[in-house]
A and B are shown apart, each in its own frame.
Chain A
Amino acid sequence: MPTTEEIPMASPIGRDTPRIDGPLKVSGTAHYASDFHFPGLLYAVPVEATIANGRIRQLDTTAAEKMPGVRAILHRANIGKIFRSSLGEGMEGICIERRPPLVDDVIRYYGQYVALAVADTFEAAKAAADAVRVTYDKNKPNVESQLKADDDPPVVATTYGTEKRLQSERGDAEAAFASAPVKLDQTYATPSETHNPIELQGTTAMWDGAKLTIYEESQAIFNMRSVLAQMFGLPQENVRVITKFVGSGFGSKLWPWTHCPLAAAAARKLGKPVKLVLSRKMMFQSVGHRAHTQQRVRLGATPEGKLVSLQQDYAYERSMLDDYHENCGEATSFQYSVPNLRVHFGRAKRNIGSPSDMRGPGAVPGLYATESAMNELADQLKIDPVQLRVLNEPKIDEGLKIPFSSRHYLECLQVGAEKFGWSQRNPEVGSMKRDGLTLGWGMAGAAWVAARFAAAANVELRDDGTARVACGTQDIGTGTYTILAQLTADKTGVPVDKVEVVLGDTSLPEGPVSGGSMATGSVVPAVFDAADNAAKSLMTLATTTAGSPFEKNEPDDLAFESGRVFVKANGPAGGIPFADILRRANVRFVTGSGESKATFEKKKPKFSTHSFGCHFVEVTWQPEIARLRVNRVVTVIDAGRIINPLAGRNQIEGAVVMGIGMALLEHTTYDPQNGAPINSNLADYIVAVNADAPSIDVHFLGYPDKVINPVGARGIGEIGLAGVAAAITAATYHATGVRVRALPIKIEDLLTSSILA
């Protein structure tokens, strides 16, 4: 069990802490990006291409321009210069769709913006956008769902840098597979999925001379600043990005999309603030989605179940111009012990908006395939799927040949099996019944990378006994505000509810991206460092203030604990509250800055840093009406120390429900003739609703990972989704005898089940 020696019992770290921003949100007083209003604000609505492949022949804006309240119809000829951005150092200059909007007349995906209507009201702008007449030279779009890899070189450029298509290799996987006594060779497919956060994306842009301010629901405000500075040819300090609250992102809001420079260009052109909020339909077209993948997995094993070969060959869709890499091999090289391994990928260009990061990018579809293959191998070998994983537990990360910082996967499996009652499982398909329903039990493992991005923070201790912590990261609905309050409270002794947390503004110290499940882990050392430095300032003040009880001491004689300053030699009993020192000195606050370096993508890491977990799933099957429902899930997560278990469980529960959507419901469908994502609304794109949410039992192991940060906290935003779909497809097979290898599982798949009531 977790050790607690370094975190005192009174610490808020590790305690269930209700979100400090909860009251603002439930009372409607939290200002999301599109809630801000400014004098003279204009509204912009993009005109969307209604073809997916071709060229604009004519753009007729005459009627639209004459409509009441219309300020301008902007298009290629009049919008003004927008530069292309390029990848910078660290987390800068990241942008998936690099083509500046409206830069040419070529249409490469349905919904690509071709013009922008700007008017005094949203209604007038929408009417004007609808009135723009566009004619096209139309070609048949390529939205073919069968993925055959294009002819790419062995090393390809991607959004984040170059990648070798032969991603990982050890031993001779081909030969070992050929001679393996037991073989499995299957192809798994995952569909295009759309993020669908409830808060729509949008930008409000305004200029003050050569300075640009952007209100946007960004998961990465500093990257957005760097991209916009490039696109408008500005020094970075001339761009300010503000993101106070985000109504979820799931990755769709990580990097800037084309609506953002469009709004900024319109504001520049018209000399007024401009607000542009996307429609739900646009959210399916032009702000990314999870790439459709096809993954061939070949496993070779001994009759006892020891893996001798693992091959994963995957292909994914990408847009015509962009290089987003869906890294399905993310977890393959380290999750299991296998001497011979080969991971290779290919890409297929399609007339679609670019895919992008979606919660657990790469690893989530990748683990669906590899964990499904493990489950099928277990069935083939007649070995319990938990036992098969135990048999293949690695001692080190065999891909990188370095030890894991903290891996407790076997304990996850053991705890999960116990809590679920796995030992009661009868492996025979369709054999388990309850209340007239057929039960299916399945399980799968999970992994997700853990690391730190660079982070800086500032902590103030104030004369009224409160504290302020500021960091230019953002809270995307996951509880970052609360985490920063807890960390600051832990270090300063100021109660959580007396800590003011300021986030989401590039005028603050540069904080991490809210992505990769790394925001929390990244801010820990920066906030601790800032709090320590604030304490140093306080001790200097305490020893230099006339009349201070510590006037005769040196700063080094003093200590600061639980909100009190005291002489080390005398112990805490003789100390006084820090606010007393500040008031005596007539100082409003002392301040400290802190920072920490990135560990993400470090060149020569000493440890392999990942989180692990597993899911045990029960489905119910009612063959009379072909109804399959997820009834019960037990999830065990090994993600280091959990700073706020209340919000942490919430994260994992949400991820499990999203996994039900992935396994059973979600699928962005492209119209074969027009190339449109045709189910581009929340009635036709089916996500799980409350009634689909099963009983979910979340358990955290809680072992601190001190390689990551002093608290030992890794991230939990994505790990909860990894593996869920594989566990559900395994449970579905167990209940119905139907093996589905192309998600989502549909009623039509299950109608072939021969398991009767």
Chain B
Amino acid sequence: MKTFELSRADDPGQAIAAGAKATTAQQGAEIRFIAGGTNLVDFMKLNVETPQTLVDITHLPFDKIEALPDGGLSIGAVVRNSDLAYHPVVRKNYAVLSEALLSGASVQLRNMATTAGNLLQRTRCMYFRDTAMPCNKRQPGSGCAAITGINRGLAILGTSEHCIASNPSDMNVAMAALEATIHIRGTKGERSMPIADFHLLPGSTPERETVLEPGDLITHVTLPPPAPGSRSLYLKLRDRTSFEFALASAAVVVTVAGGKITRARVALGGVGTKPWRSPEAEAELTGQSATPAVFQKAAAAALRDAKPQSQNGFKVELAKRCLAHALKLVTQTA
């Protein structure tokens, strides 16, 4: 870990002004916001991140979970994962989000980790973590050791020849299925975007993971009101029972009416370079009966473009089973 300065932002403007002095808000940023620190501090210890300045944003007024007039929900950037997971409205209206949060990390980590931090969670690729190894995400142009190395846990969707790092967050997958909106305040004012547009595919610039620019501060995330009659669920598959990143996971939000699926939102985790929303699966489901054959068709559609590496071909089948089973569970107890 390199020596760094820690400052505390007492209002959003101060944080934005401080952050704007960096040359990038992506890999290698000289100035970083810190909240829970559960991810960033690890990378600083490994010298994967070496910011000169950390700006503590935990005192900013973004720690509330509030109902919106349209029936949706606003979630502050520094709301802790545990508080979000156990919030009664989240449990009632957005079960998939609560389940996703509780399937991730450990109690101790969830007590520290925040909403915005989780949106920005970095990959668990082992080569990204080791500064002695080549990694295009950490050091653009150095190569990808994972493609020729150990890649069992890495992505099969959205990859490029430069990077196959998977997005490790569970929360993001649920947020993708819930069509969350990310709200950002920056030097040019406020803007917002669907979560689908927030994370970037690696392409030839895997060091760029989000749309954030220097000074951009995530203030909150909003969720639309729950679709009438919808049910949601998160299913996570991994080697051990707890405290492990997903090999494959599925977030599903489904409405069944009159024996037909009238609305479906599907996102996959553990398999994509970003939280993987699947319009292909949604299209296969909409208007169809909730039957195993339909679920399997949807699962096949979701994985149609998968590009397996030397060790993670099994994820294609595993993700299919994960999604099909999640759809079965979410529709069977209605």
Residues of A whose CB lies within 8 Å of any CB of B are 50, 123, 126-127, 130, 624-627, 629, 664-665, 669, 671-674, 676, 678-679, 681, 683-684, 686-692, 746-748, 751
User: Is B126 an interface residue, CB under 8 A from the partner?
Assistant: yes
Taking a contact as CB atoms under 8 Å apart, the answer to whether B240 and A669 are in contact is no
Q: Within the complex, which residue of B130, B237, B313 is in contact with A626, where a contact is CB–CB below 8 Å? A: B237
**Nearest residue in A to B317 (C-beta to C-beta)?**
A751
Q: Could you mark each residue 137-171 of chain B with 1 if its beta carbon is under 8 Å from any beta carbon of chain A, else 0?
A: 00000000100111001000000000000000000
Q: Using A672-B148, A673-B145, A691-B241 as known contacts, say yes or no to A624 and B126 having CB atoms under 8 A apart.
A: no
Can you report 28 residue pairs joining A to B where beta carbons are below 8 Å apart?
A123-B1, A127-B2, A624-B324, A625-B237, A626-B237, A664-B239, A671-B133, A671-B150, A673-B145, A673-B148, A673-B149, A674-B132, A674-B145, A678-B126, A678-B127, A683-B244, A683-B245, A684-B126, A686-B239, A686-B244, A689-B240, A689-B242, A691-B242, A692-B240, A746-B239, A747-B247, A748-B313, A751-B318
User: Is B321 an interface residue, CB under 8 A from the partner?
Assistant: yes
Residues of B whose CB lies within 8 Å of any CB of A are 1-3, 47, 124, 126-127, 129-130, 132-133, 145, 148-150, 153, 235, 237, 239-245, 247, 313-314, 317-318, 321-322, 324-325, 328
Cα(A692)–Cα(B244), bound, Å: 12
Name the distance in Å between B122's Cβ and chain A's nearest Cβ: 13
Name the distance in Å between B82's Cβ and chain A's nearest Cβ: 18
Residues of chain A contacted by B239 (CB below 8 angstroms): 664-665, 686, 746-747
**Nearest residue in A to B324 (C-beta to C-beta)?**
A624
Name the distance in Å between B316's Cβ and chain A's nearest Cβ: 10
Residues of chain A contacted by B149 (CB below 8 angstroms): 671-673, 678
Cα(A641)–Cα(B255), bound, Å: 63
Taking a contact as CB atoms under 8 Å apart, the answer to whether B126 and A50 are in contact is no
Residues of chain A contacted by B237 (CB below 8 angstroms): 625-627, 747
Additional 15 contacts, C-beta under 8 A, given A672-B149, A684-B124: A127-B3, A626-B237, A626-B317, A626-B321, A671-B133, A671-B149, A673-B145, A674-B132, A678-B126, A683-B124, A686-B240, A687-B240, A690-B242, A747-B318, A748-B313
Residues of chain B contacted by A691 (CB below 8 angstroms): 240-243
Residues of chain B contacted by A672 (CB below 8 angstroms): 148-150
Taking a contact as CB atoms under 8 Å apart, the answer to whether B132 and A50 are in contact is yes
Taking a contact as CB atoms under 8 Å apart, the answer to whether B126 and A679 are in contact is yes
Q: Within the complex, which residue of B130, B240, B318, B324 is in contact with A676, where a contact is CB–CB below 8 Å? A: B130
Cα(A582)–Cα(B149), bound, Å: 71
Cα(A686)–Cα(B325), bound, Å: 25
Cα(A127)–Cα(B1), bound, Å: 7
Taking a contact as CB atoms under 8 Å apart, the answer to whether A671 and B314 are in contact is no
Cα(A472)–Cα(B95), bound, Å: 57
Q: Within the complex, which residue of B129, B150, B241 is in contact with A629, where a contact is CB–CB below 8 Å? A: B241
The DSSP consensus for interface residues of chain A is loop
Residues of chain A contacted by B127 (CB below 8 angstroms): 678
Q: Within the complex, which residue of B1, B130, B322, B324 is in contact with A678, where a contact is CB–CB below 8 Å? A: B130
Residues of chain B contacted by A126 (CB below 8 angstroms): 1
**Nearest residue in A to B143 (C-beta to C-beta)?**
A673
Cα(A100)–Cα(B244), bound, Å: 38
Taking a contact as CB atoms under 8 Å apart, the answer to whether A626 and B2 are in contact is no
Cα(A674)–Cα(B145), bound, Å: 9
Residues of chain B contacted by A684 (CB below 8 angstroms): 124, 126, 153
Taking a contact as CB atoms under 8 Å apart, the answer to whether A692 and B132 are in contact is no
Cα(A626)–Cα(B318), bound, Å: 7
Cα(A669)–Cα(B130), bound, Å: 14
Residues of chain B contacted by A678 (CB below 8 angstroms): 126-127, 130, 149-150
**Nearest residue in B to A48 (C-beta to C-beta)?**
B132
Name the distance in Å between B95's Cβ and chain A's nearest Cβ: 19
Residues of chain A contacted by B132 (CB below 8 angstroms): 50, 674, 676
Residues of chain A contacted by B2 (CB below 8 angstroms): 127
Taking a contact as CB atoms under 8 Å apart, the answer to whether B325 and A688 are in contact is no
**Nearest residue in A to B2 (C-beta to C-beta)?**
A127
Name the distance in Å between B269's Cβ and chain A's nearest Cβ: 14
**Nearest residue in B to A687 (C-beta to C-beta)?**
B240
Cα(A442)–Cα(B54), bound, Å: 55
**Nearest residue in B to A746 (C-beta to C-beta)?**
B239
Cα(A413)–Cα(B313), bound, Å: 41
Name the distance in Å between A467's Cβ and chain B's nearest Cβ: 42
Residues of chain A contacted by B322 (CB below 8 angstroms): 625
Q: Within the complex, which residue of B47, B124, B244, B317 is in contact with A130, where a contact is CB–CB below 8 Å? A: B47
**Nearest residue in B to A748 (C-beta to C-beta)?**
B314
Cα(A514)–Cα(B51), bound, Å: 45
Cα(A127)–Cα(B132), bound, Å: 16
**Nearest residue in A to B245 (C-beta to C-beta)?**
A683
**Nearest residue in A to B47 (C-beta to C-beta)?**
A130
Residues of chain A contacted by B130 (CB below 8 angstroms): 676, 678
- In the A-B complex, the 10 residue pairs with the smallest Cβ-Cβ separation, listed nearest first, are A748-B314, A50-B132, A691-B241, A691-B242, A624-B325, A678-B126, A692-B241, A625-B325, A671-B149, A751-B317
Taking a contact as CB atoms under 8 Å apart, the answer to whether A679 and B242 are in contact is no
Cα(A629)–Cα(B241), bound, Å: 8
Name the distance in Å between B109's Cβ and chain A's nearest Cβ: 11
Residues of chain A contacted by B145 (CB below 8 angstroms): 671, 673-674
**Nearest residue in A to B236 (C-beta to C-beta)?**
A625
Q: Within the complex, which residue of B47, B129, B314, B321 is in contact with A625, where a contact is CB–CB below 8 Å? A: B321
Residues of chain A contacted by B150 (CB below 8 angstroms): 669, 671-672, 678-679
Residues of chain B contacted by A748 (CB below 8 angstroms): 313-314, 318
Residues of chain A contacted by B314 (CB below 8 angstroms): 746-748, 751
Residues of chain A contacted by B243 (CB below 8 angstroms): 689, 691
Taking a contact as CB atoms under 8 Å apart, the answer to whether B321 and A624 are in contact is yes
Name the distance in Å between B255's Cβ and chain A's nearest Cβ: 23
Cα(A214)–Cα(B314), bound, Å: 50
**Nearest residue in B to A688 (C-beta to C-beta)?**
B240
Name the distance in Å between B131's Cβ and chain A's nearest Cβ: 9
Residues of chain A contacted by B124 (CB below 8 angstroms): 683-684
Name the distance in Å between B31's Cβ and chain A's nearest Cβ: 20
Cα(A483)–Cα(B24), bound, Å: 61
Name the distance in Å between B271's Cβ and chain A's nearest Cβ: 13
Residues of chain B contacted by A689 (CB below 8 angstroms): 240-243
Cα(A127)–Cα(B149), bound, Å: 29
Name the distance in Å between A58's Cβ and chain B's nearest Cβ: 16
**Nearest residue in B to A679 (C-beta to C-beta)?**
B126
Name the distance in Å between A625's Cβ and chain B's nearest Cβ: 5
Residues of chain A contacted by B317 (CB below 8 angstroms): 626, 751
Cα(A674)–Cα(B324), bound, Å: 39
Residues of chain A contacted by B328 (CB below 8 angstroms): 624
Name the distance in Å between B126's Cβ and chain A's nearest Cβ: 5
Residues of chain A contacted by B153 (CB below 8 angstroms): 684
Name the distance in Å between A203's Cβ and chain B's nearest Cβ: 22
Name the distance in Å between B121's Cβ and chain A's nearest Cβ: 13
- Find the residue from A126, A681, A690 having the highest chain B CB count within 10 A: A681
Q: Within the complex, which residue of A624, A674, A686, A687 is in contact with B133, where a contact is CB–CB below 8 Å? A: A674
- Find the residue from B47, B153, B237, B239 having the highest chain A CB count within 10 A: B239
Cα(A264)–Cα(B129), bound, Å: 31
Cα(A126)–Cα(B2), bound, Å: 9
Q: Within the complex, which residue of A625, A665, A751 is in contact with B240, where a contact is CB–CB below 8 Å? A: A665
Cα(A683)–Cα(B132), bound, Å: 19
